[in-house]
Amino acid sequence: MINEKKIIQEIKKFYWKKEPYIKQNWGNWFHSISAYVGRIKPAFAHWLIKIATKKNDIVLDPFCGVGTVLLECDLLDRNSIGIDLSDYAYRICLAKKDRGGLAKEIDYLNNIKLKYTKKISTVPEFVKEFYHPKTLKEIIELRDLFLKDKKDFLLGCLLGIIHGHRNQHLSMRTGYIIPYIPKPKPKIVYKNAIEKMTDKVTRMYKDDIKVKSKIKVLNQNVLEANLKDNSIDTIISSPPYYNTIDYVHANRLRLWFSGVDFDQQKKLSRELIQDRYTYEEEMTKVGEKLYKCLKKKSLLIFILGDVHFSKNNTVNTASVIEKIYLDIGFKKKALINDEIPANRTTIVKFKGQKALDKKKQKFDRILVMSK
């Protein structure tokens, strides 16, 4: 039986804010396969898992993003199930569980003979404007080859260098997390995709990582997932904030290279971005689903932030979720405010809000509930 009081006491010690965990780049290199806006920090996930779970537990992340919780579970010898609607996030989760080893992956890359037969005339302009034509042909050919050969890790690495501000990225100089066209627009130069891939793969294997993974990942709405009743030991997740981060727009290039065309992206955006009332309705359904699959007396831990609709209208998302989940049958154990250092605060705002109304996110709120 879990000791809820001890777990909460340990969470309040905020180990992830101490050395060496406070460092921006702490964690296994596999965490940096590819960027994702709004992801939970690896050290945060590491300590929540270490404190609240034990070896061989089954941990569920119903909004898993690029699998930070899943990978940390695996490194700590826990089983994990991750669910996410985004095709791009799903691809990165698959990459984190596909571990052929450095020698095998480099050998595969060394044996690729590019044919340059891929036509780019049908590629959307919002994609083409970031790349040298020859580089773009190489990217598409590699993408198709990785999909055909089911090389999930290599595809994840390719998506990781699709765009960014460093020489290691394949695009013109732009944002690493969210792509944009700089002004003035920089000169676009050719970059050899296989050379950049070789460098990327080598970096990812700097840390040791076991070959066999305990990760299971599903690319679907959590409401459609086949989760057995009373089968989950712990739920740890950072649910999306309603109507704040446009995950589809932020990841539009990586989504397109994952096989999601512009029309599909618009449909996905409508599913992910919700107003307050739709969000609460959906989170109620999700809560009912999670209540059924969670074992009795087991914990649900959500990491949540506030949403700023205007200068004088801020919604504490944790309080909203708490009320919904209490009505479902969950019991509140704690709501812990984890203050974000001033130099690492992020801006979370209502979609469409004027820039002058932006406020910095001051807290991660850790909501702990039990069944």
What pLDDT was estimated at residue 193?
Answer: 98
The single residue listed with the structure tokens 């739709």 is 278
What pLDDT was estimated at residue 248?
Answer: 77
What pLDDT was estimated at residue 266?
Answer: 67
What pLDDT was estimated at residue 310?
Answer: 67
CA dist 35 and 21 (Å) reads 19
What pLDDT was estimated at residue 165?
Answer: 92
What pLDDT was estimated at residue 351?
Answer: 42
pLDDT tens, residue by residue, 98-139: 998 999 999 999 999 999 988 899 999 999 999 999 999 999
Please choose, from the candidates 175, 140, 176, the residue with its C-alpha nearest in 3D space to the C-alpha of residue 158: 140
CA atoms within 13 A on the CB side of 243: 15
CA dist 217 and 13 (Å) reads 31
What pLDDT was estimated at residue 143?
Answer: 96
pLDDT tens, residue by residue, 134-171: 999 999 999 999 999 999 999 999 999 999 999 999 99
pLDDT tens, residue by residue, 15-36: 999 999 999 889 999 999 999 8
What are the CA-CA distances from residue 354 to residues 86, 270, 359 (Å)? Answer: 27, 21, 11
Whether the model pTM is above 0.95: no
For the chain, what percent of residues have pLDDT higher than 90?
70
Taken in order of first residue, the domains within the chain and their CATH numbers are 4-87+215-250+261-370 (3.40.50.150), 102-204 (no CATH)
Q: How many CB atoms lie under 10 A from the CB of residue 38?
A: 16
Please choose, from the candidates 68, 65, 70, 58, the residue with its C-alpha nearest in 3D space to the C-alpha of residue 84: 65
Q: How many CB atoms lie under 10 A from the CB of residue 186?
A: 11
Relative to beta strand 363-370, strand 79-83 is unpaired
What would the DSSP string read from start to end of 2-24? --HHHHHHHHTT-GGGSTTTTST
Burial class (CB in 10 A: 0-12, 13-18, 19+), 61: buried
Question: Which residues of the chain carry a pLDDT beneath 70?
Answer: 1, 242-245, 262, 265-276, 309-311, 341-362
What pLDDT was estimated at residue 308?
Answer: 72
Alpha helices by DSSP H, 26-171? 42-52, 68-75, 87-97, 102-110, 125-128, 133-148, 152-160
SS3 199: helix
SS3 63: coil
